Amino acid sequence: MTTDAIKGFPKDFRWGAATASYQIEGAKDEDGKGPSVWDMVCRQPGFVWEGHTGDVACDHYHRLEEDIQLMKACGLRAYRFSLSWPRIIPDGNGTVNEAGLAFYDRLIDALLEADIEPWITLFHWDYPYALFCQGGWLNPRSPEWFEDYTRVVVKRYSDRVRHWFTLNEPQCFIGFGHDVGSHAPGLRLGLSEVLLAGHHTLLAHGRAAQILRAEARTPAQIGWAPVGCITFPATDRPEDVEAARKEMFDIKASSDPHNNVFNNTWWGDPVVFGRYPEDGLRIFGSAMPRVTEADMQLIAQPLDFYGGNIYCGSTVRAGADGEAEHVETTPGHPLTLYGWKCKPETLRWGVRFLYERYNLPIVVTENGISCMDWVMEDGAVHDPQRIDYLSRHLKALRQAITEGADVRGYFHWSLMDNFEWSEGYKQRFGLVHVDFGTLQRTPKDSASWYAEVCRTNGANL
Ligand code: FCB
């Protein structure tokens, strides 16, 4: 690294923002799109806050050109978006929907035209309903279905797209979706079924990475985007740092079975090291599915970067026995509208710990804050909390880079306010405000602030 790079963000650092298909596109059954499991759960009374659905969402499907202009106003150099699998293959497997493919052609072409690099997420939770009816992720054929879908999109887009993520947050779509039941498909399975579904998603990741590597027309840069479950040290004392690191990577027996799959290593270790972590294997015991050596080899495909969706974390210090002790925040600590605690150090230590463990370049695939934003009397959306949150988190990220973490990009969540899963339209994460009645977009104050960060490569921080 040059001296300049050490002082700040590296020269080719990717500044971007992220979205996901179900959260923004709408057009729920247009032009041949098939239903997804989110279309399904949105019809269940009480599943989503105030009965909201993604039927229209931001109507991005019809407003693509306008939204690209907004991306430009936000200064984006890169845009992370996901493909709707059932828009492309309505039944999840089999017949391909040309109109669905054409929509993403238009998006990719318009991005390139605007000099914004497309970064595709293959799967961000809108699983084809037709495959769910065949057992979904529990079906041993599900990794093959994902491979077939990947082949279709790689063939179509890899002439123009170089950057790919396989899965977004398996912890959530398996944990919340198949264990807790608060996300689609809304299942509350037993531990062995949860682990089996999880194993299939990892196999799906491996198969997709393999296809991308072998068949992409421009050499693919491949990663994935798990949740970063972060603990960080209360001080820089080595004992605290080690306690926090251990806490971040250990899997512990939990009295709440729903905490089981919410960790980093159950997912990250197979993907990078080709093995499930010993502590998890011990705890899950006989609930573990049958796993072969060939499975583990398939899962551990070489990756070009490791993603982290990082929002919040907890503070830890070394107790008398060296074990981690969680440090409570003082009453009145800053909270997001979600109730998540604002702790900028999360980003510094999160990327450091992930980088040190997995030894792959890190991309922050999501980070941001939900605020109580609205269009004010002067017609603008003033969001000083978001600017302050971002300023502090990006400085913490810069510090991690200065301390040696190899971080290649940062994607703000999100480009615009959107359908926040079971929270409906309550949580606003965007740089751009969306009025969900009129669908009018209004860039918030943070949009021009972030544009300046992108323009100066963070030098204004
Ligand atoms: C992440 C999801 C993303 C968004 C943010 C707030 O867990 O990946 O779609 O909902 O949280």
For residue range 394-425, list pLDDT tens digits in order: 999 999 999 999 999 999 999 999 999 999 99
The confidence band for 257, taking pLDDT boundaries of 50, 70 and 90, is low
CA of 50 to the centre of ligand 1 (A): 19
The confidence band for 389, taking pLDDT boundaries of 50, 70 and 90, is very high
The residues that bridge with 363 in the sheet, in sequence order, are: 307, 409
The confidence band for 258, taking pLDDT boundaries of 50, 70 and 90, is low
- To the nearest whole number, what is the mean pLDDT of the chain? 97
Residue 101 has pLDDT above 70, yes or no: yes
Looking at residues 144-159, what average pLDDT do you find?
98
Looking at residues 310-336, what average pLDDT do you find?
95
> What pLDDT, on a 0 to 100 scale, did the predictor assign at position 4?
45
* H or E element, residue 150: helix 142-157
Residue 3 has pLDDT above 50, yes or no: no
The confidence band for 334, taking pLDDT boundaries of 50, 70 and 90, is very high
The residues that bridge with 314 in the sheet, in sequence order, are: 231
Looking at residues 8-29, what average pLDDT do you find?
98
Give the ligand 1 atom nearest the CA of 227: 7
Please give the residue that has the higher pLDDT: either 228 or 128. Answer: 128
Q: Which of 251-265, 308-322, 356-370 has the lowest mean pLDDT?
A: 251-265
Active-site residue numbers?
169, 366
Among 337, 366, 369, 429, the mutation site with the greatest number of ligand 1 atoms within 8 A of its Cβ is 366
Residue 167 has pLDDT above 60, yes or no: yes
Kindly list the domain boundaries of the chain, sorted by start residue: 3-456
CA of 172 to the centre of ligand 1 (A): 9
CA of 133 to the centre of ligand 1 (A): 25
The confidence band for 47, taking pLDDT boundaries of 50, 70 and 90, is very high
Are 326 and 210 within 8 A, CB to CB? no
Give the ligand 1 atom nearest the CA of 169: 8
Are 300 and 273 within 8 A, CB to CB? yes
Please give the residue that has the higher pLDDT: either 3 or 432. Answer: 432
Are 445 and 387 within 8 A, CB to CB? yes
Residue appearing with tokens 């949740």 = 227
Q: Is the pTM of this model over 0.95?
A: yes
> What pLDDT, on a 0 to 100 scale, did the predictor assign at position 322?
82
> What pLDDT, on a 0 to 100 scale, did the predictor assign at position 218?
97
Give the ligand 1 atom nearest the CA of 368: 6
Residue nearest to atom 9 of ligand 1 (CA): 20
CA of 322 to the centre of ligand 1 (A): 34
Residue 93 has pLDDT above 80, yes or no: yes
Which residues have C-beta atoms less than 6 Å from ligand 1? 20, 23, 168-169, 172, 309, 366, 413, 420-421, 429
Looking at residues 177-196, what average pLDDT do you find?
97
Please give the residue that has the higher pLDDT: either 102 or 259. Answer: 102
Helix axes 345-358, 238-249, angle to 10 degrees: 70
Residue nearest to atom 1 of ligand 1 (CA): 309
**Radius of gyration for the alpha carbons in the chain, expressed in angstroms and rounded:** 21
CATH 3.20.10.10, domain 3-456, yes or no: no
Among 180, 309, 367, the mutation site with the greatest number of ligand 1 atoms within 8 A of its Cβ is 309
User: Which of these, 308, 160, 267, lies nearest to 220 by C-alpha position?
Assistant: 160
Residue 77 has pLDDT above 50, yes or no: yes
The confidence band for 5, taking pLDDT boundaries of 50, 70 and 90, is very low
Residue 7 has pLDDT above 60, yes or no: yes
> What pLDDT, on a 0 to 100 scale, did the predictor assign at position 260?
80
Q: Where are the alpha helices (DSSP H) in 164-310?
A: 170-174, 191-215, 238-249, 265-273, 278-284, 293-299
CA of 366 to the centre of ligand 1 (A): 8
Q: Where are the alpha helices (DSSP H) in 37-94?
A: 37-41, 64-73, 85-88
Beta 163-168 vs 117-123: how paired, if at all?
A: parallel
Residue nearest to atom 4 of ligand 1 (CA): 420
pLDDT above 90 covers what percent of the chain? 96
CA of 23 to the centre of ligand 1 (A): 9
Residue 247 has pLDDT above 70, yes or no: yes
Residue 13 has pLDDT above 80, yes or no: yes
> What pLDDT, on a 0 to 100 scale, did the predictor assign at position 1?
44
Are 41 and 184 within 8 A, CB to CB? yes
Among 415, 420, 423, 427, the mutation site with the greatest number of ligand 1 atoms within 8 A of its Cβ is 420
